[in-house]
Amino acid sequence: MSEELSDQGSLLEARQIGRQTTAGQWLIRNVSLAVHPGDRIAIVGPTGSGKTLFLRSLAILDDIQEGELRFHGNPLKDKELPEFRSQVVYLQQRPVLIEGTVEDNLKLALGFQVNQHKPHDIKALISLLNTFDRPESFLQRQSSALSGGEGQIVALLRALILSPQILLLDEPTSGLDPGTTKQFEAIILKWLSTSDKIPAFVWITHDHSQAERVARQIMTFPAGTILPVQKSH
């Protein structure tokens, strides 16, 4: 995460991001990253070093107290946020599914106005389901009856049918068994190779062998970005 960023052609760029507690203590500071088309970035680093705080900042899910985010080279305006959300999708550790079937969940994102121009490509979806080794009838399963791993894969498929430009993955396989983890990775790699865009991902993982398998760039979250918490007077 160098401070010298080339913004040439970056999709998403974080410059000198800082996050503070409400009491004013810095949790992360001066963290920068540029994501370009085709990037496959893994972020590794110790527990509590601020990886999630940083990724959530990239996803514009939390406010930042310092620094700047740029999307396609420009600061993001409020009115551009729905488009940003359809292009930059954040997947958290635990899937959040609605009641109903797998298909209801997959169609959910497409219901948002900003996504209505995106075709619901059922063929592509079924091909991804095959990578997951599930028949088409899996679409009719109730979300409440899915295992944790199946739920996480459904959350991934729901993200992918939006055809995002960037996936932000926060330890998405930490609760999955090795077989489901491999399927999850295979779906992402298939998506990368079949997307009509040149998508990118930023993937937080504690598993160095996973980082080696999926990423082209591995970044260690720098301990130096975390300042010691000051005692208040």
Ligand X SMILES: Nc1ncnc2c1ncn2[C@@H]1O[C@H](COP(=O)(O)OP(=O)(O)OP(=O)(O)O)[C@@H](O)[C@H]1O
5: left (phi over 0), alpha (psi -120 to 50) or beta: beta
Q: Tell me which H or E stretch contains 15.
A: strand 12-20
For position 21 contacting ligand X by CB under 6 A, the verdict is yes
Cβ 228 to ligand X shortest distance, Å: 12
For position 53 contacting ligand X by CB under 6 A, the verdict is yes
Spatial neighbors of 63 by CB under 8 A, at least 6 apart, are none
Spatial neighbors of 78 by CB under 8 A, at least 6 apart, are none
For position 230 contacting ligand X by CB under 6 A, the verdict is no
Site string for ligand X, 116-145 (x = CB under 6 A): ------------------------------
Q: Of 1, 12, 17, 27, which lies in the binding site for ligand X, with binding defined by CB under 6 A?
A: 27
For position 15 contacting ligand X by CB under 6 A, the verdict is no
Q: What are phi and psi of 232, to 5 degrees?
A: -80, 150
- Strand, helix or coil at 54? helix
Rounded-to-integer distance, Cα 25 and Cα 31, Å:
16
For position 211 contacting ligand X by CB under 6 A, the verdict is no
Q: Which amino acid is it at 227?
A: L
For position 17 contacting ligand X by CB under 6 A, the verdict is no
Q: Which is nearer to ligand X, 56 or 158 (CB)?
A: 56
For position 225 contacting ligand X by CB under 6 A, the verdict is no
Cβ 36 to ligand X shortest distance, Å: 23
Q: Of 10, 32, 49, 173, which lies in the binding site for ligand X, with binding defined by CB under 6 A?
A: 49
Residue count at the site for ligand X (CB under 6 A)?
Answer: 10
For position 11 contacting ligand X by CB under 6 A, the verdict is no
The interaxial angle of helices 148-160 and 122-131, nearest 10 deg, is 150
Q: What is the dihedral of CA 56, 221, 28, 90, to 10 degrees?
A: 0
For position 168 contacting ligand X by CB under 6 A, the verdict is no
Residue ranges in contact with ligand X by CB under 6 A: 21, 27, 45, 47-53
